[in-house]
Amino acid sequence: MKISSKGSTMERRDALKVMGISGAALLAGGGTSASAKTKLSTFASKKKADIVIVGGGTAGMTVAARLRRSAPNAKITLIAPNETHLYQSGQVYVAAGLFSEFDNKRPTSELLPDNVTWVKDKVTAFDPDKNRVQTAKHNTVPYDYLVVALGCEYDYNAVEGLDVSDIGKHGIASVHLNDIEKGTSTGAIVSRLWLKAIRRKAQRSEVKVLFSDPQTPVKGEGASLSMLFLANDMLKGNGLKIKGKDLQHKVKFTLTKAGKVLFPSAKIDAALKRTMKKTDNVSVSYGYILKRIDKEKKVAVYANGDEEVNVSYDYLHITPPMKAPQVVRDSKLSIKDGLHKGWLDVDEKTLRHPKYRNVFGLGDVVGLSSGKSGGAVREQAIVLQDNIAAIMEGKVEPMSYEGYSVSPIKTRYGRVMLAEYTPKGLAPMFPLDPTTPRWIWWEMDLHLMRRAYFDLMMRGML
Ligand SMILES: Cc1cc2nc3c(=O)[nH]c(=O)nc-3n(C[C@H](O)[C@H](O)[C@H](O)COP(=O)(O)OP(=O)(O)OC[C@H]3O[C@@H](n4cnc5c(N)ncnc54)[C@H](O)[C@@H]3O)c2cc1C
C-alpha cells in the first residue's frame, strides 16, 4: 500500500514507523505543545490550600491529576455527579459500527487520581464573593481556589417542534446525544441504526438526507462532518459490514451551516471544501439557521437572512445548539453580554476569571473563540497545572493557552483529516500536512486515542 505525504509517497512500513514515532511521542506526552512552552511542569507549590474542581469529565479529571502533582500539599476536592465517565470522542466510532458503547465507558472511581476527594454531587450555585459553592446534597463547599469544568448543555428544544425524545424517531439522528451524568450515549447507537436505514431506503428509492449544524459554538466540531462523510462512504459498501452495490447516486446530502464556513480554520475549511467537491451528491447551504421542524411532514424550516426556507428531507441529522450549564449562566462567573454570553468568563491566555482571581476554568464551559475539544482541554490543563501552583507561590502565571484545538474529521472509512489549529492558523503536532486526510491518523484515532485518553490523559500524563 502506498501512502501519499506532501507530494512524496510512503510505503506502509514507513508510515508505521512515522506512526510509531508519533504514537510514542504522543503517548509519552513528548509532542510539542501549541500552547505550553514546555511540557515538563516547572512549577510546584508545597503550600497548603483547598482546591475545589467542579466537573468530572475530560477537563475535571485531567486537571485534578495534574494539580495533584503541582500542588502536592493542597487538599483537592472534585465535585461531580457521574459514576461513569464517557469518552465522547468515541461516539462517532460507535455510530460507524467500529466501537461498542460500552468500550467508551469507565467508572469514575477508577480514574480518580489518588488523594483527590470525590464529592458525588451537583453544584447548584456559585458564591464567588464568599469563596464557596452550593451543592445539592452536601451543603456548601468552601475553597481557596476553584476550577470550573462543567462542560456544556445541549439545547434541542431551541428548535421549535424538536424534543430530545425525538432522536431515534421520525428519521432523526444526532450522534452528539449523550447523558454525561448517566454515562450513556444514545445518540451514537441511534446514529448507527440511522445509517443502516438510509442504505436500506436507498435500495428502494431516492433519498434526501439533511445535516443541520447550529449557530452556537459546539463541542466536537468535526463530528457532524465525520457523520456525513462516513454516511456517504457507507453507501459505497464501506463500513458497517454492509455488502452490496454502490448506492451513492441514490442519495442526496445537504449540509446546512449557520455561518459562512465549514470549519473555523481557513486552511482546513478550504481542504474540506475540496474534499466535498469530489462528490456530486453533497451540497452545502450557508447562512441557514434552523428554526423549526415538522416531524410528521419531514420539513425543516430555516431562517436564511430575512427569508424563511423550507427544506424537505427523509433523514435528518441534528447537531444540537449548545450552551453553558444553567448553574454557570445564572452565576456571577458568566459572561453577561456579547458573543460568548452565558459561558464562563476567563482570560483567553491564563484561563483565570477577570474579577474573581481565585477562579479558573477549562473545557467546553469557557467562553473563548477557540474550539471546544478534548485536545483543547489537554492544553488548557497543562496551563492550569503550572499557573495555579505559581499563583499559590505568589508568582506571575508562567503559562499561556494559545487557543489550540483539534478535530479528527473522518473523511471516509480509513481516512482522517487531523485538523489541529489555533485562531492564528494550523498547529500540527506532527510534521505532516494536517489538511491531508491520512490512513495513519485514522489508525491513531481509532486504535490509540481511547487508550491514551483513559490511561494517560486521565492521569495527567498526556
Ligand atoms: C460526538 C462527539 C465527538 C467528539 N469528538 C471529539 C474528538 O474526536 N476529539 C476531541 O478532542 N474532542 C471531541 N469531542 C469533544 C470532547 O468530548 C469535549 O470537548 C470534552 O469532553 C470536554 O470536556 P469537559 O470536561 O469540558 O466536559 P465534559 O467531559 O462533558 O464533562 C462535564 C462534567 O461536568 C459535570 N457536571 C455537569 N453539571 C454539573 C454540576 N451542576 N455540578 C457538578 N458537575 C456537573 C458532568 O457530570 C461531567 O463530569 C467530541 C464530543 C462529542 C459529543
Q: Could you read off the pLDDT of 26-35 as tens digits, one per residue?
A: 433 333 444 4
**Cell 456517504 found at:** 232
Q: Could you read off the pLDDT of 390-433 as tens digits, one per residue?
A: 999 999 999 999 999 999 999 999 999 999 999 999 999 889 99
CA of 208 to the centre of ligand 1 (A): 31
pLDDT band at 245 (very low <50, low <70, confident <90, very high): confident
Q: Beta strands 251-257 and 50-54: pairing type?
A: unpaired
Residue ranges of domains in the chain: 32-147+330-392, 154-323
Give the dihedral sign, CA 222/225/229/235. Answer: positive
Nearest to 440 by CA among 418, 457, 419, 462: 418
325 lines ligand 1 (CB under 6 A): yes
Alpha-carbon distance of 268 to 436, in angstroms, equals 9
Residues in the chain: 462
pLDDT of residue 19: 42
Instruction: Say if residue 8's pLDDT is above 70.
Output: no
63 lines ligand 1 (CB under 6 A): no
CA of 58 to the centre of ligand 1 (A): 6
Average pLDDT in the 311-321 region?
Answer: 98
Give the ligand 1 atom nearest the CA of 327: 41
pLDDT of residue 76: 98
90 lines ligand 1 (CB under 6 A): no
Does CATH place domain 32-147+330-392 in 2.60.120.10? no
pLDDT of residue 276: 92
Give Cβ neighbours of residue 447 (< 8 Å, ≥ 6 apart). none
pLDDT of residue 40: 55
Cβ of 312: how many Cβ atoms within 10 Å?
A: 11
Instruction: Say if residue 2's pLDDT is above 80.
Output: no
CA of 57 to the centre of ligand 1 (A): 6
457 lines ligand 1 (CB under 6 A): no
Q: In this structure, are residues 185 and 154 in contact, taking their beta carbons and an 8 Å threshold? A: no
Give the ligand 1 atom nearest the CA of 188: 1
pLDDT band at 39 (very low <50, low <70, confident <90, very high): low
Residue with CA closest to ligand 1 atom 45: 55
pLDDT band at 122 (very low <50, low <70, confident <90, very high): very high
Q: Could you read off the pLDDT of 56-94 as tens digits, one per residue?
A: 999 999 999 999 999 999 999 999 999 999 999 999 999
Beta bridge partners of 4: 9
Give the ligand 1 atom nearest the CA of 372: 19
Residue 233 CA: distances (Å) to CA of 226, 414, 444? 10, 10, 20
123 lines ligand 1 (CB under 6 A): yes
264 lines ligand 1 (CB under 6 A): no
Alpha-carbon distance of 62 to 303, in angstroms, equals 40
% of the chain at pLDDT higher than 70: 90
pLDDT of residue 286: 97
pLDDT of residue 84: 98
Instruction: Say if residue 329's pLDDT is above 60.
Output: yes
Backbone angles phi, psi at 219, to 5 degrees: -90, 150
Alpha-carbon distance of 7 to 456, in angstroms, equals 34
Give the ligand 1 atom nearest the CA of 405: 11
CA of 54 to the centre of ligand 1 (A): 13
Q: Could you read off the pLDDT of 129-179 as tens digits, one per residue?
A: 999 999 999 899 999 999 999 999 999 999 999 999 999 999 999 999 999
CA of 88 to the centre of ligand 1 (A): 7
217 lines ligand 1 (CB under 6 A): no
Q: What is the mean pLDDT of the chain?
A: 91
403 lines ligand 1 (CB under 6 A): no
The CA angle 201-202-204, to the nearest 5 degrees, is 70
Q: pTM of this prediction? A: 0.93
Average pLDDT in the 361-368 region?
Answer: 98
Instruction: Say if residue 264's pLDDT is above 60.
Output: yes
Nearest to 436 by CA among 268, 234, 264: 268
Backbone angles phi, psi at 310, to 5 degrees: -95, 130
| Least confident segment among 18-27, 87-96, 109-118, 325-334 | 18-27
CATH superfamily of 154-323: FAD/NAD(P)-binding domain (3.50.50.60)
pLDDT of residue 65: 97
Residue with CA closest to ligand 1 atom 48: 57
The reply to whether 32-147+330-392 and 154-323 are identical in fold is: yes
Nearest to 293 by CA among 410, 156, 125: 156
% of the chain at pLDDT higher than 90: 87
pLDDT of residue 17: 39
353 lines ligand 1 (CB under 6 A): no
- Grid cell at residue 431: 510534521
Answer with the residue of higher pLDDT: 242 or 218: 218
pLDDT band at 241 (very low <50, low <70, confident <90, very high): low
pLDDT of residue 77: 98
- Grid cell at residue 228: 456525513
89 lines ligand 1 (CB under 6 A): yes
